[in-house]
Amino acid sequence: MKQLTNYQRVSNYLMKIFRAINEEYFNNELEIPTITIQSTVGAYGHISVQKIWHSNDTATHELNLSADYLNRPIEAVVSTLIHEASHLWNLQHDIKDTSNRGVYHNKNFKKTAEELGHLHIERDEKYGWTITSPTEDTLDFIIDRGFEDIQLVRGTQFSFAGIGGAKAGNGTAIPPKTRKPSSTRKYICPCCGNSFRATKNLNVMCMDCNEQFVLAD
């Protein structure tokens, strides 16, 4: 697989992951949003309450992943996508899952994200049930689908002239804690380059090259 360092390639890859999430967890019942990669202040991502993207007779919600955090471990990125997909499910079913302009996440969100999205949700004092982490099911899903880390990220030291615009709401808030290391390990054959992911330390031979897989850096 080519390295995910190109913006358009990453955008297409995120859509691929979203479609897999829709199939795996939401029975393909989610409307397909427009996926964007922009800076989101104080959040890993958001889903727009209204359908704000328009093309001819079609309108879609915006699902944004923060450009500043794209290179988190893939299980964290996938968890954010499932988080926003859970908001989208609730929007489609008229389930109110946030308050305070989409900032505070209530128990309706927790219920959907855990029961349908198979995420682990913890409560933050300020933002409610929004602290999102992957479960063993999430890790198995990532490994089975062969999803890889994204290397592209936007630098945080920048400035713009004339910034404006309203918040989209329903975002994945960034919790005030140290970022966890990846829960998965990538193994690669030093000879042919074949690779796989696992959640524990393994001793595995490449049957094509008769070489032992080694942990990737």
The full set of domain ranges for the chain reads: 7-179, 184-217
**60 and 53 Cβ atoms separated by less than 8 Å:** yes
pLDDT score at 202: 66
Q: Is residue 79 classed exposed, middle or buried when 0-12, 13-18 and 19+ CB atoms within 10 A define those classes? A: buried
With a threshold of 0.85, does the pTM exceed it? no
pLDDT score at 164: 37
pLDDT tens for 105-164 read 999 999 999 999 999 999 999 999 999 999 999 999 999 999 999 988 887 644 444 433
Q: Which residue has the higher pLDDT, 162 or 77?
A: 77
pLDDT score at 139: 95
pLDDT tens for 4-24 read 668 899 999 999 999 999 999
pLDDT score at 159: 45
pLDDT score at 168: 45
pLDDT score at 170: 64
Q: How far apart are CA 35 and CA 98, in angstroms?
A: 21
- Partners of 185 in beta bridges: 198
pLDDT score at 190: 77
> For 176-185, 192-201, 204-213, which range has the lowest pLDDT when averaged over its residues?
176-185
- Partners of 123 in beta bridges: 129
pLDDT tens for 24-69 read 999 999 999 999 999 877 889 999 999 999 998 899 999 999 999 9
pLDDT tens for 201-217 read 767 777 787 777 677 76
Instruction: Residue 78: name the closest of 38, 118, 123 by CA.
Output: 118
- CB-based contacts of 135, cutoff 8 Å, min separation 6: 118, 119, 120
- Coil vs helix vs strand at 99: strand
pLDDT score at 177: 42
